[in-house]
Structure 1
């Protein structure tokens, strides 16, 4: 008989406890927190030409502010993860959101590209706190299949945000200058701060916290790196994100430059790819009722690798056309929708005792490796072959790594349905500190 994933043999918690929020409320709050990162990255993209013109720099220099944001997200997660394991989840989360708001205000009034780049890096670090704490909370409360199910729901929010963010930024630019894009981010972050303060409980009790010492933090990271299967799962999650970043970075050049799509048609086609990704993240919940997360990942990566090989072949032969390109890309994106929730969930389940640090390493790897891999599409020519090669390489390497590591299957809670994820957990969640 399956047991509830958030009940274990850990020491008794503080006598001051509260019931966990409902399943729907928890998913909404955590989903909103993880969405702050994509909103911060993508919402200002339509403003880049205007920023370059007003600040008197080239478009490539203006794009470096995006690199700064990704660097802030990666670095911020490495810092906030251990802090959340020592101080609890709520305080680093609140501090991070406040930092994001202050950095957004600095972006609004930045007089030159150097200060804007610095502010964007700080923005990324603030958004990192929201993302890493949200994933750590999942690790606090769930494991195995139940964690993968919650992660699938969060991927819905994480998938919708990058699609809607540029459109929201474009709407702002229709009525105001690019400065106001950052004003909207201040408002959104403020709403998240209020929601988290009122709704999100402290999920890491004092008895489970780690001392805040540099040596201890370093020892935790060393122990994570010594777990080969954990590292493999981190790499698989990062390569899945890399394939997605590669598509985002190269799609416009292939579809608009190569196939001649106008901006409106490109937006529709790009959105369809996002729908394929989002749909499979939700179908993953259904699959988890019958199969382990590990088995789902292997089959998804196998399908993606096969589609990728065909993709590369068609690109080399210059056959298949637009329809062939779209079908194969959508198959790969759909397969990634089954990898991106499951790999982090299984990885976190291996280290519930250091969920914050583990989530930090996961997030840093996803954004760090993703940011490093995506530019390869441009280096290789920004054409269909370059995009096909990078996406295929990411899926094949991930599949080989997963097969070689032979991560054991966790079927302990496979019988749990979506409705069983969050129950009344009085005594499982500590009162906010």
Structure 2
């Protein structure tokens, strides 16, 4: 498959989807929903679990640092799993890895529901993350197998829209589950949900990577060789930087916005939940634009336009702050909704470009893309955390700088693609 940026935009009709064998595949909404649900297992488990952390701490009499391990360790496991487990999908196929990932998530959730202590709960959460990482990569690899050329960006945007709908309501669902049966009910819900997904994959999802196209068997180093092969392809590291820089604006905002609500705007922290919905809805709108007009406009336009829009949103927020506006809407509309609209245009498109460049090792490609997002997110969160939390300026400058770097890499694309 040639790089997506070399394919001319298709202006009419819908391109057929093919597997690696050349067999035409009928796309259906049910399959996309199933794959999106498998992809969102990790983020959903985290968002459902976070409201239960105080109750977990109280039940086990743990310190804040100890209970935070049930959050931080799974994040590390997820990030590493995206890279280390990605090659498995290129070696053994997408379907077995997807089934294995969901099954491991079930085991972790069941262990978490029965955990007698905090240590075992942390181990259970790590197992959840490893399973969800494998499910994430396998699902995305299936989408890449079935989405030729520029159709991949539309497919990624479509999946992201479905995931955002789920993530928007996850904290409220977590509160409901906790009120019903305590924090263990959250883990039990994970078991039930994953069992449904496991049955759906077993019954409805067929293999999309033919044996002839799979990586050759070998040792552990041979298993990681596809990752190295992808990394050394011209321009791939730059694409990872673009993906990571774009994504980093979202967690950077989430990490500091609750503090800004109290220290910069004098509002109770509970109000953050009401304004939070602007972020996923902005990204949702950007994804919807990609689905509606992406094939007509093409990647050559979507990435710089989306990034520029996000940068202008940062500048607008800076202007409002400089004018002395101290209301949450002055932050959440430009730096929340509008910035995420721009990310919704650019992020799925540059992700699709990166994965297309990694073909046929798309499992490794998706793993590296996900890892780049996690690493750059951690860097951005640490950077904004170094400064005072009573001013939005560090956040705005960090996000603005990230967008400028993405545009600089895009302007120099002719050089690094020919390297």
Please give the secondary structure, in 1, of the residue aligned with 2:40: helix
C-alpha change, 1:212 and 1:161, in structure 2 (3 Å) is farther
Q: Pairwise mapping of residues 71-110 of structure 1 onto structure 2 (< 5 A)?
A: 71-110=76-115
Q: How does 1:20-169 map to 2 (within 5 A)?
A: 20-169=25-174
Q: 1:377, CA displacement in angstroms?
A: 2.6
Give the match for residue 421 of structure 1: none
Show structure 1 runs of 5+ residues with no match: 410-433
| 219-228 or 293-302: bigger deviation | 219-228
3-state SS in 1 of match to 2:361: helix
Query: Do the aligned partners of residues 408 and 372 (structure 1) sit closer, same or farther apart at CA in structure 2, a change above 3 Å counting?
Result: closer
CA contact (8 A) 2:314 2:396 kept: yes
- 2:4 paired residue number: none
**C-alpha separation in 1, matches of 2:198 and 2:86:** 18
Aligned equivalents of 1:256 and 1:101: distance in 2? 38
Residue deviations 1:160-216, cap 9 Å, x none?
A: 232211111100111221111111111111111111111111000111111133343
Matched, 1:266 2:272: yes
Segment drifting more, 114-123 vs 146-155: 114-123
Answer yes or no: is 1:304 the counterpart of 2:310: yes
Seen in structure 2, the aligned counterparts of structure 1 residues 290 and 407 have a Cα distance that, compared at 3 Å, is farther
Describe the SS at the equivalent of 1:204: coil
- Residue 342 of structure 1 corresponds to which residue in structure 2? 349
User: Are 1:187 and 2:192 counterparts?
Assistant: yes
Q: How much has 1:318 moved relative to structure 2?
A: 6.9
RMSD: 2.4
**1:424 equivalent in structure 2:** none
Contact 2:307 2:342 in 1 (8 A): yes
Structure 2 residue 368 is matched with structure 1 residue 361: yes
The 8 Å contact of residues 51 and 174 in structure 2, kept in 1 or not, is answered as yes
Distance (whole Å) between structure 1 residues aligned to residue 165 and residue 207 of structure 2: 27
2:235 maps to what in 1?
A: 229
Match of 1:397 in 2: 405
Q: How does 1:320-339 map to 2 (within 5 A)?
A: 320-322=325-327, 323-329=329-335, 330-339=337-346
How far off its partner does 1:256 sit? 4.0
| Conservation of the 8 A alpha-carbon contact between 2:282 and 2:339 | no
Quote the Cα distance in structure 2 between the aligned partners of 1:358 and 1:23. 25
SS in 1 for 2:66: helix
Question: Is this contact kept in 1: 2:141–2:362, CA < 8 A?
Answer: yes
Contact 2:91 2:216 in 1 (8 A): yes
Where do 4+ consecutive residues of structure 1 move more than 6 Å? none
* 1:146, distance to aligned residue in structure 2 (A): 0.5
Contact 1:51-1:178 at 8 Å conserved across structures:
yes
TM-score normalised over the length of structure 1: 0.86
SS in 1 for 2:296: coil
Which structure exhibits the higher relative contact order, with contacts defined as CA atoms closer than 8 Å and separated by 6 or more residues? 1
- 2-structure distance, mates of 1:235, 1:294: 18
- Contact 2:234/2:416 (<8 A) preserved: no
| Whole-angstrom CA distance in 2 between matches of 1:338 and 1:223 | 29
Alpha-carbon spacing, 1:24–1:351, altered in 2? closer, same or farther (3 Å): same
C-alpha distance 273-407 of structure 1, shift in aligned 2 (>3 A): farther
Question: Structure 1 residues 105-114 or 230-239, which shifts more?
Answer: 105-114
Distance 1:178 1:197, change over 3 A: same
Give me the whole-angstrom Cα distance separating, in 2, the residues matched to 1:60 and 1:307.
Answer: 36
Q: Which residue of 2 aligns with 1:377?
A: 384
Give the 5 Å matches for 1:278-289. 278-289=284-295
Task: Please state how far the C-alpha of 1:119 moved relative to its aligned partner.
Answer: 2.0
Offset, 1:328 = 1.6
Relative to the length of structure 2, the TM-score reads: 0.88
User: CA–CA distance in 2 between the matches of 1:71 and 1:368?
Assistant: 10
Which is further off, 191-200 or 382-391? Answer: 382-391
| Structure 1 pair 190–111 and aligned structure 2 pair: CA distance change class (3 A) | same
